A and B are shown apart, each in its own frame.
Chain A
């Protein structure tokens, strides 16, 4: 489903060149739940951003469903992100001015559908993460765990086949972290959603099917 070949990512400024990723080769099958581990600054998030088409590699190719995305322009990339991929971030990235329901509807705004349909799907997604009673709350009125559950509802509302989670439990206490992990496992098991999760937490990584380890931008396993 996702194939990375000889991926390289280099950040260049006038004076220095920083290699964030080098020679990364990775194939992720449909329905797989994998985790990416490694010390801080080893390139985990950069790799996740490349898989999520949020960034472009300086070398190598990224293929989603067999098509290389290098030639895709802004509109086509946006369409793939909208339909195929959902994101969960460590710091939630909820829009503070919008209610929980409006936040969850964001991915659907970029699809052709009626307001009623959007609302119905958003309510269903919130129901799945156990937040039906909080639809009219604002992010600041929720706990960290609840905010991350809203973020997961936003990520799955458009029924993407790929869910990318960047340290989704990193800002949560262990109980809330377990709750979030439980939701991700359910999504993987019930919906066959392909999940790629960046984590520092060995215990959480052990709950996934496969662990990819990075060190100084290179795969080490």
Chain B
């Protein structure tokens, strides 16, 4: 029977070329947008090669100091994390690193702009960079403020052409560093690991940062296990209640919670409350759900309308099938098969378009070093979305059709 339905579905779709085109366009375009957005999202926040242990990593990349008369929103300061984030219970590793800034170098009369990040040595132990040459700087390099650097492959190319980078020196931000490691390029979208040159934070030109509790620094912890993560958050938040604030008249509290990447995004959204140390994730999930539903609503309603007219055109066929013994439920099944087939064809087109769109975005240079791809996870999300879309837009027309009286159906769908 399924074979009969599929053959008929293909014939109907080919016969009504315009309807089929409109339906396929709606489905594939909707899926294209959903898939591309999901792929971008996954690339930025999902587990990746450099951040494989995201399931037990927490980041404190936003801070807010506030009082009754003002608020200061930024990242945390070195002193804040150095004093209060060390020896948290359940932490396997803690890393402090700067947000990064653009520095300039001059090579053979060329001005080269590079993203430089100053980090500690734990940074390399929590993250998992792929080294092409050499290795990362260690505890001794940081402790003794050695002028060593890890660079990415593109920086090696810019500074040294096709020669190996290891042992070479480069000048950046007015300082001279010896290259001890070369890593593969990391996407700009991955905010935490991203840079082009990484150097020990102790090589900073001034140590004024050591006294600041706000500005310029981030912290990341690798929890021993997932169960320790709530404890880490809780303990750090309660430690922050004891922070001596620089201007008690202006500020009375500081918030710089350890969170997952996605919670960090939720905090940055207009719906997020930066003064609240608790997770704002549910607000983001709610916001994105409403947005996705609204986005899906328009094409779904369109497809429902197209499906109703498509099905009602076949009222006589429905009447014949009913007259010859098709129960309503079987007919609903038949039209759902047709709709799901249409949706699956649309999703295949949507996926092909998504691959092309992601390739175009990757090549556009909009996001440095980003190579957006459709991974199996995104593919599965897309298939689920397509099937949901097919069912949503097919159920109502099929249900309406199944309620037709056979006599009315044979008469062309008009009831007396």
Any chain B CB within 8 A of the CB of A109? yes
Among B7, B317, B322, which residue has its beta carbon within 8 angstroms of that of A78?
B322
Asked if A55 and B316 make an inter-chain contact with CB atoms under 8 angstroms apart, the answer reads no
Contacts of A142 in B (CB 8 A): none
Given contacts A78-B328, A109-B4, A158-B324, list 12 more A-B pairs with CB under 8 A. A11-B416, A49-B407, A54-B322, A75-B329, A78-B326, A79-B327, A81-B325, A82-B325, A95-B317, A97-B11, A97-B12, A109-B1
Any chain A CB within 8 A of the CB of B3? yes
Interface residue ranges of A66-101 to B (CB < 8 Å)? 74-75, 78-79, 81-83, 86-87, 89, 93, 95, 97-98
Contacts of B324 in A (CB 8 A): 81-82, 86-87, 106-107, 110, 154, 158
Asked if A115 and B3 make an inter-chain contact with CB atoms under 8 angstroms apart, the answer reads yes
Interface residue ranges of B298-322 to A (CB < 8 Å)? 316-317, 319-322
Any chain A CB within 8 A of the CB of B127? no
Among A79, A93, A111, which residue has its beta carbon within 8 angstroms of that of B320?
A93
Tell me the complex Cα distance, A89–B406, Å: 13
Closest partner residue, chain B, to A102 (CB atom): B4
Closest partner residue, chain B, to A56 (CB atom): B405
**Of listed B11, B317, B321, B324, residue having the most chain A CB within 10 A:** B324
Closest partner residue, chain A, to B402 (CB atom): A74
Asked if B319 and A74 make an inter-chain contact with CB atoms under 8 angstroms apart, the answer reads no
Tell me the complex Cα distance, A31–B322, Å: 25
Closest partner residue, chain B, to A82 (CB atom): B325
Q: Which residues of B contact A (CB under 8 A)?
A: 1, 3-4, 7-8, 11-12, 15, 316-317, 319-330, 405-407, 410, 416
Contacts of A93 in B (CB 8 A): 316, 319-320, 410
Contacts of A49 in B (CB 8 A): 407
Contacts of B8 in A (CB 8 A): 95, 97-98, 102
A-B pairs, 3 with minimum CB distance: A82-B325, A107-B324, A97-B11
Contacts of A54 in B (CB 8 A): 322-323, 405-407, 410
Closest partner residue, chain A, to B321 (CB atom): A106
Contacts of A102 in B (CB 8 A): 4, 7-8
Given contacts A89-B410, A110-B330, contact A52 B405 (CB under 8 A): no
**Of listed B11, B319, B327, residue having the most chain A CB within 10 A:** B327
Q: Which bucket holds chain A's interface residue count?
A: 20 to 34
Given contacts A54-B406, A102-B4, contact A79 B317 (CB under 8 A): no
CB distance from B302 to the nearest CB of A (A): 24
Closest partner residue, chain B, to A12 (CB atom): B416
Tell me the complex Cα distance, A74–B332, Å: 13
Tell me the complex Cα distance, A83–B327, Å: 13
Tell me the complex Cα distance, A98–B15, Å: 12
Asked if A79 and B323 make an inter-chain contact with CB atoms under 8 angstroms apart, the answer reads no
Closest partner residue, chain A, to B405 (CB atom): A55
Interface residue ranges of A1-52 to B (CB < 8 Å)? 11, 49, 52
Asked if B410 and A74 make an inter-chain contact with CB atoms under 8 angstroms apart, the answer reads no
Contacts of B410 in A (CB 8 A): 54, 89, 93
Any chain B CB within 8 A of the CB of A105? yes
Tell me the complex Cα distance, A49–B405, Å: 11
Tell me the complex Cα distance, A106–B322, Å: 10
**Of listed A54, A78, A154, residue having the most chain B CB within 10 A:** A78
A-B contact pairs, 21 of them (CB 8 A): A54-B322, A54-B407, A54-B410, A74-B327, A74-B328, A78-B325, A78-B326, A78-B328, A81-B324, A81-B325, A83-B325, A95-B320, A97-B12, A98-B8, A102-B4, A105-B4, A107-B324, A110-B325, A110-B326, A110-B330, A111-B325
Asked if A55 and B407 make an inter-chain contact with CB atoms under 8 angstroms apart, the answer reads yes
Tell me the complex Cα distance, A97–B166, Å: 71
Contacts of A111 in B (CB 8 A): 325
Closest partner residue, chain A, to B409 (CB atom): A54
Among B15, B322, B406, B416, which residue has its beta carbon within 8 angstroms of that of A97?
B15
Contacts of A81 in B (CB 8 A): 322-325
Contacts of B319 in A (CB 8 A): 93
Contacts of A83 in B (CB 8 A): 325
Contacts of A74 in B (CB 8 A): 327-328
Closest partner residue, chain A, to B317 (CB atom): A95
CB distance from B333 to the nearest CB of A (A): 11
Tell me the complex Cα distance, A110–B416, Å: 28
Among A52, A110, A154, which residue has its beta carbon within 8 angstroms of that of B327?
A110
